[in-house]
A and B are shown apart, each in its own frame.
Chain A
Amino acid sequence: MTTLLKNARLIDPEAGTERTGDLLIRDGAIAAVGGTEAPGGTQVIDCAGKCLAPGIVDIGVKVCEPGERHKESFRTAGLAAAAGGITTMVTRPDTLPAIDSPETLEFVLRRGDAATPVRFKPMAALTKGRAGREMVEIGFLMDAGAVAFTDCDHVVTDPKVFSRALTYARSLGALVIAHPQDPGLTAGAAATSGKFASLRGLPAVSPMAERMGLERDLALVEMTGARYHADQISTARALPALERAKAAGLDVTAGVSIHHLTLNEFDVGDYRTFFKVKPPLRSEDDRLAMVEAVAGGTIDVISSMHTPQDEESKRLPFEEAASGAVALETLLPAALRLYHAGALDLPRLFRALSLNPARRLGLDGGRLAAGAPADLVLFDPDAPFVLDRFKLRSKSKNTPFDGARLQGRVLRSFVGGAEIYRHGD
């Protein structure tokens, strides 16, 4: 079975190039890129000059199974991901209960593989119950398919526990993902300290809390030699520490959420709880520093940090409302704001969306090269639309982009060469 995607604008994050050409898919993998003759019987799809890029690998998707299926299921998350050009969801273990044993992981794998059209790779908790006291069975969980270990937004506060988990993880080559925040400073905060939080009277945390958390983690990484990824960096003050660690040769990478790249604290406006995320939205200076850090490569990965919340948990006073935003379907259009603003070209953008996350997790995707799996997204970067949150495929509709004018529409998504989404269907 062969498919030829012809006349596409090919976005190659590995080579850092874009050019017009064809792409041939054979047996679920990319067979050739460029101008090739298609064998007889090939299905031909005319891309009409639209962009073809490796499908997005999204680290940190919350699917609310087990525990809160009314907020999101593997089926709805998978459909949303497909419509958003995400071909691999890397799911979070902060479910109820947490995914901290081979048994719960097996449940999730069984549920997920049957229900989602996209690939999904589960992460497991680093400590039991994400409580920061005892490490999980890292070896068994890796055997069962966990691609990384993270307590998500819970910080492992005891440095002894964390350093032992890092040491043990290193011996197995496991990737540890952490949320760098000083938990003491962060406690109770709903906003970033500054003029906006003061005006709105919201309990706030200094951006310094992120740097303190990161500096501690990096010291322990230096001590243990573990593979470490900071899930979300959102403040300019944290960047020098990250740069130093990378320059020193530590096995360290970092991510940023799409919200911290495209929104700032003032977007919260009149206590709009759909803009309450964790960590809280930052200043415009911080946002610009994050965009620059992605462009310069200090920050490796852009992710959706997809966090479904139902109306009840958001329809509360700001301090009491739940954190998080859905973003599977808005990740690419929002990220294209950076492209349209001239901050990032498309190959650079897909380095952060597809290539880098795949590499970091040891996955084969994220590339537009012969031999790579044919996980692809075809999109029109210019198509304008106004987002209506009730049209999202996620069960939860808590997006900060409701009513926003966005540019960029996914036309088709492919996983292993099979079309899993087509716009208008």
Chain B
Amino acid sequence: MTFSARHLLGIEPLSQADILSILDLADTYVALNRGAEKHGDALAGMTQVNMFFEASTRTQASFELAGKRLGADVMSMAMQASSIKKGETLIDTAMTLNAMHPDLLVVRHPHSGAVNLLAEKVNCAVLNAGDGRHEHPTQALLDALTIRREKGRLQRLSIAICGDIAHSRVARSNILLLGKMENRVRLVGPPTLMPAGVADLGVEVFDDMCEGLRDVDVVMMLRLQKERMDGGFIPSEREYYHRYGLDAEKLAFAKDDAIVMHPGPMNRGVEIDGTLADDINRSVIQEQVEMGVAVRMAAMDLLARNQRATAAEGAA
């Protein structure tokens, strides 16, 4: 095991070896989760707090289940409804929670960099569950695990990430991870949803979807937020679906065995055709959800090990 960091704040600081050690451990948790006895004890005696400053069902449930399967005491807090409303700052909230001695803090926040800020102020391990448009590292890791299990490798693949790149933390983490693992990454989307200077990140940029999908191994769709559909970034939902929605016709430009991914929740008929999303021969969307739990178990397990190792060093 080489992954020795204190927090998992993003893909950016991870090495290839870090990524592989998380994925390798996650593979064993996939097996555990498929068995009848779904319990491990890697986090026994530990307290995991989920702080979600932004609404989430899937990611929060996934982290909660991951912690429970490994024996942690898990508490989830919907932060929009709590003290933030009373004017408490992020730092004060963090310090308050820190005083309760959690071991793992899972945080989602609407502002880029907020999780990094919080990590500076607490003693426990912090996992970024998505910060603004910055990073969503466990999503990129679960995508990587899905790809590796489907394609048998995680390198020299051609992968198209399609849709609203500009507002997507999923896209940023995936660009970084897939780049680190030496894949060819293409970004496909309307130029109004493409961040400036993105070509400097070592990716190819396409605004024609058919061109962008030509001969790729993996098609990764992104969710288009409802609030972006009002004419500000794209003219209309139907024009978007016509030009950038994934359907069988556009998918035909990809390799015959190309897989289709989506981080969810999907807008059927906006960015992806409903029938295609359900096509078990092409779509791996359900597998992504399954891999999510395993990857989060692995990430928390490794961070807990690092924490114990640091504590042991301190005691010695």
Which residues of A pack against B, CB within 8 Å? Answer: 193-204, 206, 270-271, 312, 315-320
A320 touches B111 (CB 8 A): yes
Number of A-B residue pairs having CB atoms within 8 Å of each other in the complex: 71
Closest residue of chain A to B176 (Cβ to Cβ) is A199
Residue of A nearest to B134 (CB): A201
Q: How far is the CA of A200 from the CA of B200 in the complex (A)?
A: 14
Name B132's closest neighbour in chain A (CB-CB): A201
Q: Could you say which of A193, A198, A201, A271 has the most chain B C-beta atoms within 10 Å of its C-beta?
A: A201
Q: Chain A nearest CB: distance from B168 CB in Å? A: 9
**Is B114 located at the chain interface by the 8 A CB criterion?**
yes
User: With contacts A198-B196, A199-B172 known, is A316 near B112, CB below 8 A?
Assistant: no
Question: B134–A197 contact, CB under 8 A?
Answer: no
- Asked if B197 contacts A312 (CB within 8 A), the reply is no
Q: How far in angstroms is the closest Cβ of chain B from A299?
A: 25
Say whether B195 contacts A198, CB under 8 Å: yes
**A52: shortest Cβ distance to chain B, in Å?**
44
Q: How far, in Å, is A264 (CB) from chain B's closest CB?
A: 14
Q: Which of B12, B89, B90, B195 has the most CB of A within 10 A?
A: B195
Beyond the given pairs A195-B197, A202-B132, 17 more chain A to chain B contacts, judged by CB atoms under 8 angstroms and listed by A's residue number, are: A193-B196, A197-B196, A197-B197, A198-B197, A198-B198, A199-B172, A201-B132, A204-B196, A270-B116, A315-B91, A316-B117, A317-B109, A317-B113, A318-B113, A319-B112, A319-B113, A319-B132
Chain A residues whose CB sits within 8 angstroms of the CB of B89 once the complex forms = 312, 315-316
Which residues of the other chain, A, contact B112 by a CB distance below 8 angstroms?
200-202, 271, 317-319
Bound form: Cα–Cα A238–B114 in Å: 33
Once A199-B201, A201-B135, A270-B116 are accepted as A-B contacts, the answer to whether A317 and B196 lie under 8 Å apart by CB is no
Instruction: For the complex, give the distance between the alpha carbons of A204 and B113 in Å.
Output: 14
Whole-angstrom CA separation of A316 from B111 in the bound complex: 10
Inter-chain CA distance A309–B95, complex, in Å, is 22
Q: Do residues B113 and A195 form an inter-chain contact, with CB atoms below 8 A?
A: no
Query: Measured between alpha carbons, how far is A316 from B197 in the docked complex, in Å?
Result: 26
Q: A201-B132, A201-B135 are in contact. Are A317 and B114 (CB under 8 A)?
A: yes
A206 to B195, CA, bound (A): 11
Q: How far is the CA of A199 from the CA of B133 in the complex (A)?
A: 9
Which residues of A have CB within 8 Å of B131? 201
A residues in contact with B169, CB < 8 Å: 201
